[in-house]
Structure 1
Amino acid sequence: MNHLELTKIVEWKDLRKLSVSEMLIENNISLPWLFISLCLAYNEYYWMALPFSGFYFLTALRQVHNGFHNSLGTGKFLTWLSLYLNSITMMASIHAVKFNHIRHHKFCLSEEDYEGKSASMKWYEAILYGPVHMFLIHRITFKKANMKYRKNMGLELVSIAFLMAIVWYFQINFLMYHVLVMIAGEFLMAFFAVWTVHHDTHENPNIARTQRGFWKNKLTFSMFYHMEHHLFPAVPTIKLPELADRIDKTLPELTKKQTF
């Protein structure tokens, strides 16, 4: 059974709609982690700040990922603003990431899928490939994207450079910490955001890896329901646990490869 047939069997369209509380969660889920990490870093508790920075990066990725698929429940401008602001705090052009992510869904694990290149590597190769991955994401956007994407990427990169210049010129230590940790996070994207969910799935790329287990998904903020996301990309992340339950009940025979 291919992924198009699966989408016709499982009820999912009602899951696209967010309540007001769900919309507020999806649009602000990263902020507590950001504020706590910056507060701890400001007071020079860097090791204590590190896990909060990690959770900020993960939740910000969840937020922009929903923005890629217009699943934040907000209009075009607020979605754009979310991508722009998270670009500055995550130290990468999120519009460049968006361009390649949409192509990833269209050309999943094929030659044209530049986001998915690390899926065919060994785990340690995917980690080492991380800096190349981030450079390639921006380069491909510059070469293949339309003018609107290129302008957004340019604005985001200039804004990031401006922030970094201020932070280093005035030696703002807690922001220097944040910048360096976010760059490290970006360099690990090829492993965590691509390899973990797509390795050994080339025979049926849209049936990506997924994750079961209550606490595993709570600790990862539902970001590893990746099979569900590829089958139904319009469903917001907050609805993926319910979607996973529907898939399990409707298609218990469907083979699911675990993320970890």
Structure 2
Amino acid sequence: MNPNTAAAHLRLTPRQRVLELARPWVLFLLYVAAAGAGLWWLAVPLAVAVCLATFVQMHDAMHNALGLSKAANARLLTLSGLLLLKSGHGLQVTHLRHHARCLRPDDPEGAPATWRFGEVLWRGPYHILMLRRESLRMAPHTRRIQLLETGLTLLLLALFVGLYLWLGSLVGLVYWAVAFVMSATLPIWAAYIPHHLADTNPAARAASAAAQLWTPVVSSFAFHHVHHHYPRVPTALLPRAAAELPPPPPHEH
């Protein structure tokens, strides 16, 4: 049976959809409130949580897995990408190529999974820039939206600098710094580890157990192999997919 057909019943309820759509934005508002109050011990972890939650939302939007219309999904992809200071449509190009050509020479997103770990550490920070270049090359038909999103990202960065220069506020710059660190380490936690950690590994089993409680972020790691076989299943429902659907072939990542 086609994987998408087998997983067709795994769709978010309206309540679940609202939760998935609202989570990163609520966390972002909490970050702004904490940072504005000078509570940096709380604001920085909240900024990390914003990035992780947004990563999940953008990833689900890449696969149109949230049950939105095509137009609404495209807008969400842009907005969630901007929350990560990225081009959502640019990352979608390289991510869908990753699913189609997983870990092959023409899979730029998956390349870090084929490197030695030491290489991931020093090449990783530049990898996200390379992906933006590759996405423009691979999908010239989306060049306009990719360049628009890139321009909006630069505008946000200028706004963050302006907030500091004119108001002395570090709210934007600290968020930018956290997003940069998350991007620089993304090849480790979103490429190298998921593709090297077998689902039978004790750490993966522990993550699978934890994912049953709430965490879509943990689900994206614990059930990475399931996601590759059933890409239209929302991240939050991957534990159900692992329990209810036929297991992926062992060679799939």
Q: Give the drift of 1:216.
A: 5.4
Counterpart for residue 154 of structure 1 = 147
Do the aligned residues in 1 keep the contact of 2:58 with 2:81 (CA within 8 Å)? no
1:133 aligns with 2:127: yes
Do the aligned residues in 2 keep the contact of 1:208 with 1:227 (CA within 8 Å)? no
Say which of 140, 144, 154 aligns to 2:138. Answer: 144
Tell me the number of residue pairs that the alignment of Structure 1 and Structure 2 aligns. 243
- What is the CA deviation profile of residues 189-222 of structure 1, one whole-angstrom value per residue up to 9, with x for unaligned ones? 1111111111378xxxxx9999333225645342
User: What TM-score, normalized by structure 1, do the two folds share?
Assistant: 0.83
Which whole-Å CA distance do the structure 2 matches of 1:251 and 1:85 have between them?
A: 34
Q: Give the drift of 1:105.
A: 0.4
Letter in 2 for 1:93: S
Q: Give the drift of 1:170.
A: 3.3
Counterpart for residue 170 of structure 1 = 163
Counterpart for residue 86 of structure 1 = 80
RMSD: 2.9
Counterpart for residue 204 of structure 1 = none
1:106 aligns with 2:100: yes
Counterpart for residue 34 of structure 1 = 28
Please, which moves more after superposition, 166-175 or 215-224?
215-224
Please, which moves more after superposition, 187-196 or 207-216?
207-216
More helix by share: 2
Counterpart for residue 70 of structure 2 = 76
1:215 aligns with 2:223: no
Counterpart for residue 227 of structure 1 = 225
The runs of 5 or more residues in structure 1 that have no matched partner are 202-206
Q: Give the drift of 1:251.
A: 5.3
Counterpart for residue 176 of structure 2 = 179
Letter in 2 for 1:188: T
The runs of 5 or more residues in structure 2 that have no matched partner are none
Letter in 1 for 2:69: G
Do the aligned residues in 1 keep the contact of 2:226 with 2:247 (CA within 8 Å)? no
Which whole-Å CA distance do the structure 1 matches of 2:247 and 2:236 have between them?
A: 21
Query: Following superposition of structure 1 onto structure 2, how do residues 3-14 of structure 1 map, counting pairs within 5 Å?
Result: 7=3, 11-14=6-9
Question: What's the % identity of the aligned pairs?
Answer: 24
Q: Give the drift of 1:140.
A: 0.5
User: What TM-score, normalized by structure 2, do the two folds share?
Assistant: 0.85
Do the aligned residues in 2 keep the contact of 1:208 with 1:230 (CA within 8 Å)? no
Which whole-Å CA distance do the structure 2 matches of 1:169 and 1:137 have between them?
A: 28
Which whole-Å CA distance do the structure 2 matches of 1:155 and 1:235 have between them?
A: 29
Do the aligned residues in 2 keep the contact of 1:120 with 1:199 (CA within 8 Å)? no
- What is the CA deviation profile of residues 135-159 of structure 1, one whole-angstrom value per residue up to 9, with x for unaligned ones? 1111111212132x21111111111
SS at match of 1:40: helix
